[in-house]
Structure 1
Amino acid sequence: MIEPTDRQITGCHGELAVREWSAPHPGWIALIAHGYGEHSGRYQWVAEQLVGARALVWAPDHIGHGRSPGERVLVEDAETIVADLETVRQRVTAEHPDLPVVLIGHSMGGLLAARHAQLHQQHLAAVVLSAPVLGTWHVLDLLEHDEIPDTPIDPATLSRDPEVGAAYLADPLVWHGPFRRPTLQAIDQCLLAINEGPTLDRPTLWVHGEDDELVPEADTRTGIDRIRGDDFHEHIYPGARHELFNETNKAEVMNDVLTFIGRTLNT
């Protein structure tokens, strides 16, 4: 196991907790944006695979998530988290100015990564979107209620591996409560901004599980079609659920991701 180094970086609303995993002689930077309610520590296996491919990995806990400060899972403006990602990118590239940056976002982190890429494409070598919240998202229907129902994420939707769901439920840094109205509103506004924003001119890979009930592939595709650039690639995995990096075929997914990155960076 590769132990991460803990960093603290000042974001828009406080000191962000950032995990860093490093190869001895890194050839590129992987910046990971995690999903709603979780934290960067859940990407240990992912980081180890990236380090094995000569990456320097930085992964912040978004404000209100994991070990970062703030009211739990409260996001009043998604653009501030996008700005935090840019702050982290600036910090890591200041320390490693010659290394290209690949932005990897999962779920809500895919939403944030897509928006970041729209705003800062010139600073990225490539983008990887894992089951991103794009286009439409059925969870936003909760906004129609006067009081948001207590409908936490069902761990069975994450992976076909039951141990993933069990670990998710037992993780004290994961949020297990209801969605917050401001957060859903912020996601809704970010979706609108992405739909009205530019296409992605950076090489982009979209990976998604065919049996993803939490973020259905068909809903995401409506947003993907709005931002799809000329250098765009996709893999849809039959039978896979939401967390592809924790799925029973995660080795296949990671191989596809690393193949895409290696081809893009010519490594």
Structure 2
Amino acid sequence: MAGMEWDFTGARERITAREWPADSPRWVALLAHGYGEHIGRYEYVADTLLRHGAVVYGPDHLGHGKSGGDRVLVHDFEEIVADLHTVEEHARERHPGLPVVLIGHSMGGMIAARYAQHHGDGLAALVLSGPVLGPWGAITALLGVEEIPDDPIDTATLSRDPAVGEAYAADPLVWHGPFKPTTVKAFDRCLSAIAGGGRLGALPTLWVHGEADELVPLRETRIGIEQIRGDDLTEILYPDARHEVFNETNKDEVLADVTTFATRHVGG
């Protein structure tokens, strides 16, 4: 199911969000996508979640996909957290009483972690997929660089399935240019804020990561996880898997782990 789109006025620009509706959902899945991509790349994820009792929501973040703003330009990730909260509030209005599980990938995992520090009391569970946390070397290397090189991503680092990289490279809604200095500084501030923002307490948290992830290396994320981990953390690592575990050759295994975790914590 392709889902239904709507627009709202975000913290800075017009934001486009998507709902994948369900007839009798038992829980709400709230998705936060990664850097340079868009929520439309999560059709397979949404379909899997639907089949496990969820109604699914997610925005194109500011400057991404169909949302407004200069491409991949982020001044302050707190604004993106606020936009995501607007989507959650919309979902709760449409489905009062249903538990909410937040699922964030890569940059979306960073956003989800910060979101949980602000709004974790309202979540039933949190899923972090290859999250940008800790001392992310990709950003540290760009701090202070006046002219960031236009060095396209090696799409082979996304997944062992070459079709994933081919689709990514051909997707007009994906950003294929360089980082922007303002966004680099916003990443750095957000990671620092998360590191000092407190632990996740009793919030059930699942961390999934590909052991062969070169874009967001496991060793760097682990430092960030240790900074925020609460009392209920489940860690699952996938040997040989690359960055986009939801698009990997073993994606059904990964999504089975996610849905098992989520439905356990929403009472399904």
Residue type of the alignment partner of 1:240: A
Give the deviation of 1:144 after TM superposition: 3.8
- Tell me, in whole angstroms, the C-alpha distance in 2 between the residues paired with 1:67 and 1:230: 37
Give the deviation of 1:266 after TM superposition: 2.0
- Using the size of structure 2 for normalisation, the TM-score is 0.97
Give the deviation of 1:146 after TM superposition: 2.5
Residue correspondences, number? 266
* 8 Å contact from structure 2 (residues 28, 56) kept in 1: yes
Aligned to 1:137: 136
Aligned to 1:170: 170
More displaced stretch, 52-61 vs 144-153:
144-153
Give the deviation of 1:15 after TM superposition: 2.1
- Tell me, in whole angstroms, the C-alpha distance in 1 between the residues paired with 2:181 and 2:152: 13
Question: 1:108-128: CA deviations, max 9, x gaps?
Answer: 000000000001111111000
Residue type of the alignment partner of 2:89: Q
Question: 1:185-209: CA deviations, max 9, x gaps?
Answer: 1011000000001111210000000
**Ranges in structure 1 where 5+ consecutive residues have no aligned partner:** none
Match of 2:142, SS?
helix
Aligned to 1:248: 249
Aligned to 1:16: 15
Aligned to 1:40: 39
- Tell me, in whole angstroms, the C-alpha distance in 2 between the residues paired with 1:59 and 1:138: 28
Q: State the Cα RMSD in Å.
A: 0.8
Residue type of the alignment partner of 1:76: H
Give the deviation of 1:87 after TM superposition: 1.1
1:221-236 mapped onto 2 (5 Å cutoff): 221-236=222-237
Question: 1:144-169: CA deviations, max 9, x gaps?
Answer: 42211112222111000000000000
- Tell me, in whole angstroms, the C-alpha distance in 2 between the residues paired with 1:68 and 1:145: 27
More displaced stretch, 91-100 vs 154-163:
91-100
**Ranges in structure 2 where 5+ consecutive residues have no aligned partner:** none
Match of 1:235, SS?
strand
- Tell me, in whole angstroms, the C-alpha distance in 1 between the residues paired with 2:255 and 2:122: 23
* 8 Å contact from structure 1 (residues 9, 88) kept in 2: no
Give the deviation of 1:14 after TM superposition: 2.2
Q: Are 1:262 and 2:263 matched, yes or no?
A: yes
- Tell me, in whole angstroms, the C-alpha distance in 2 between the residues paired with 1:193 and 1:143: 17
- Tell me, in whole angstroms, the C-alpha distance in 2 between the residues paired with 1:229 and 1:101: 18
- Tell me, in whole angstroms, the C-alpha distance in 2 between the residues paired with 1:154 and 1:31: 28
Residue type of the alignment partner of 1:176: H
- Tell me, in whole angstroms, the C-alpha distance in 2 between the residues paired with 1:145 and 1:115: 26
- Tell me, in whole angstroms, the C-alpha distance in 2 between the residues paired with 1:4 and 1:262: 22
Residue type of the alignment partner of 2:223: T
Aligned to 1:158: 158
Aligned to 1:59: 58
- Tell me, in whole angstroms, the C-alpha distance in 1 between the residues paired with 2:267 and 2:24: 17
